[in-house]
Structure 1
Amino acid sequence: MDALYTAAAGMIAQNQQLALVAGNLANANSPGYLAQTGTFIAFPQGTVTRQGVSPGVVGSSSDGVALTSGLNPAASGVNQTNQPTDLAILGPGFFQVKTPAGISYTRDGHFSLDAQGHLVTAAGDWVLADNGQPITLAPGPFTVSPTGVISQNNQVVATLALTGLQPTGMTSLGNNLYRGTPSPFTGSVEQGALNTSNVDLGTAAAQLIEAQTRYQSLAQMVNEESNRLKAAATLGVVG
């Protein structure tokens, strides 16, 4: 029975890995997307119990594997767009935005101006200045310096709230938004450009094939072990 539980645990982990890699491939062209990473870990031996009319311990499960996920914090490339509201971060770092769920961070600098002149994300969330307030611009051209200073009509309007995030503990909120522990910003800003995703297509394709192959092998192991247990259950007891 140990082999059955081990193989089943492996199938679950490989299925999660398939979903993770598929998500990376689906977002390979999403500006500022950070690739998800998966790490297989062993979980300790546990007791298997039976529920129902005759509850009790029926055995123990052998060591299996589980998948823990994280984010690849590596900086990505940059595509030139020549759109003044598009902003990219060279090196590590994030823009700070205000969402209905609170303060979040993004590398997706595909911004625009709403009807009130607020600088907003593609989802309509406010891009924040370093004083925690939304950034409001008048109609007309503006410039953004490498340090995030926004100027218009030869006057400083605001400075972008820019931050780094500690790699440990970073979480994805979806829509290219992230949470984490802030750290000093060490990058720079480029106007008229967008960050690419940091998904490595070659690596992701290889991971997808590997996960599929392992899943199929484990599924075969589960079938063989199930058949063995069924055969064992039909054997008579010699007394």
Structure 2
Amino acid sequence: MQNALFVGVSSQVALQRELDVIANNMANVSTTGFKGRSSRFQEYLMPVASADSFHRPDRRVSYVIDQGTTLDLAQGPIEQTGNPLHVAVRGEAFLVVRTPNGDRYTRNGAFETDPQGNLVTSDGYAVQGEGGPIQINAQETGLSIGPDGTVSTNLGIRGRVRMVTFANPQALTNEGANLYGSAAVPVAAGINGRLESGALERSNVKPVIEMTRLMDVNRTYTMVSGVISRLDELRGTAIRRLADVA
């Protein structure tokens, strides 16, 4: 009976984790460049007794182990905005931005300029060019961003937006504000990343699928809770009957 309770609890913990992931995906359905995540779980079989003198051998008990999440790198839908400072990232590349904690990576191409003329994201982080931050004077006109990230105005080329890729993008960690961190050193994106000017990549989260997953998780959680409650009642009944016999 104890094993059944432990199995139920391990399932509930896994389902709660799955619920958190789904909730985060749903909260970012409208976040520019957001990449959804899905949970990974693994079955763990409890070792059985090694003695061979039992009339009936032990049965393995199956538990659930949380193995983290996987990042869905599928391309999100592209929406035309007409804003020359907006760029949609196509391919596997990430944009590099400077934060107080160092360089971080994003797919959010909703650029703008700050009062100092620096090219920044909508959250105010400086967009990094291949030669450092990109600055545009207020007097410059005709701004455009090419597919390779080249930023040009009427005064010529002002820089090139830095795009990078990772050997193992699944190792990227979410750090809030639609940013990713990585312990690995990125490499130049090259042909693996192109920019589409005047457009934004929207979230790749599919609300209908997430809602279906949410209903499945809630239904399963309720079922497991019911099983645990019945097991607890059964144990209480057994204790009372044993006390009556005594």
Tell me if TM exceeds 0.5. yes
- Shorter chain as denominator, the TM-score bin is 0.7 to 0.9
Structure number having the greater helix percentage:
2
**What secondary structure does 1:234 align onto?**
helix
Distance 1:202 1:74 in 2: 16
2:209 maps to 1:210: no
**Over the residues paired in the alignment, what is the CA RMSD in angstroms?**
2.0
Identity score, percent: 27
Alignment length, in residue pairs? Answer: 224
Q: Give, in whole Å, the separation in 1 of the partners of 2:75 and 2:181.
A: 17
Deviation at 1:62, TM superposition (A): 4.2
Give the counterpart letter for 1:190 in structure 2: E
* 1:175 corresponds to: 177
2:82 paired residue number: 82
- The equivalences for 1:220-231 within 5 A come to 220-231=226-237
The residue correspondences of 1:59-98 to structure 2 (distance < 5 A) are: 62-67=61-66, 68-98=68-98
Q: Which runs of 5+ in 2 are unaligned?
A: 48-59
Q: Distance in 2 between matches of 1:72 and 1:226?
A: 40
In structure 2, distance between residues paired with 1:155 and 1:122: 25
Deviation at 1:179, TM superposition (A): 2.1
Tell me, in whole angstroms, the C-alpha distance in 1 between the residues paired with 2:73 and 2:181: 12
Structure 2 residue matching 1:174: 3-state secondary structure: coil
Deviations 1:171-206 (A, max 9, x none): 111111112342452021111111111112222111
Q: Are the equivalent residues in 2 in contact too, given 1:71–1:171 (CA < 8 A)? A: no
CA distance in 2, matches of 1:42, 1:229: 26
**Are the equivalent residues in 1 in contact too, given 2:86–2:200 (CA < 8 A)?**
yes
Give how far 1:221 is off: 0.9
Give a deviation string over 1:102-152, Cα, whole Å, max 9, x none: 111000111110010001111111100012x11111123311110111111
- Provide the C-alpha distance between the structure 1 equivalents of 2:187 and 2:19, rounded to a whole number of angstroms: 32
Q: Which residue of 2 aligns with 1:53?
A: none
- TM-score, normalised to structure 2, is 0.85
Matches within 5 A, 1:29-108: 29-43=30-44, 45=46, 62-67=61-66, 68-108=68-108
CA contact (8 A) 2:105 2:181 kept: yes
Opposite residue 119 of structure 1, the aligned amino acid is L
**In the alignment, what sits opposite 1:19?**
20
What residue in structure 2 maps to residue 201 of structure 1? Answer: 207
Q: Does 1:123 align with 2:123?
A: yes
Q: Contact 1:128–1:160 at 8 Å: present in 2 too?
A: yes
2:196 aligns with 190
Indicate if the aligned counterparts of 1:5 and 1:62 stay in contact, CA closer than 8 A. Answer: no
Aligned to 1:50: none
CA distance, structure 2, for counterparts of residue 38 and residue 66 of structure 1: 11
Tell me which residue corresponds to 2:8: 7
- Superposed CA deviations along residues 145-180 of structure 1, whole A, max 9, x for unmatched, are 101111112511111110123333121111111123
Counterpart residue type for residue 110 of structure 1: A
